[in-house]
Amino acid sequence: MFVLQRSLPVRSQIIQETEVETFGIERTINSTVDLPTTWQSYFMEDGHLTSRVQVGSPVTMRLVTLPPAIPIEEEIERPTFEKKDLDWEDDMELYSKYLDKKEELKADYAYYMRKHPELKAMLADFVQFLLLRKPTDTIAFAADYFSSFSSNIPSTKPFLESAESSRYPTNSLNPKIEHLMKILS
Cα(179)–Cα(185) distance, integer angstroms: 10
Q: What is the pLDDT of residue 108?
A: 96
Q: How crowded is the C-beta side of 68, counted as CA atoms within 13 Å?
A: 2
For the chain, list residues with pLDDT below 70: 152-185
Residue 66: its pLDDT value, please? 87
Give the pLDDT confidence score for residue 174 in this predicted structure: 55
Name the residue type at position 124.
A
3-class DSSP assignment, residue 59: coil
Cα–Cα distance measured from residue 32 to residue 42, given in angstroms and rounded to the nearest whole number: 27
Q: Between the CA of residue 148 and those of 92, 117, 126, 141, 151, what are the distances in Å?
A: 45, 19, 12, 12, 8
| pLDDT given at position 115 | 94
pLDDT of amino acid 39:
93
Q: In what order do the strands lie in the sheet with 37-43?
A: 2-15, 18-30, 37-43, 49-54, 60-62
- Residue 160: the pLDDT is 54
- Mention every residue, 6+ apart, whose C-beta is less than 8 A from residue 185: 163, 164, 165
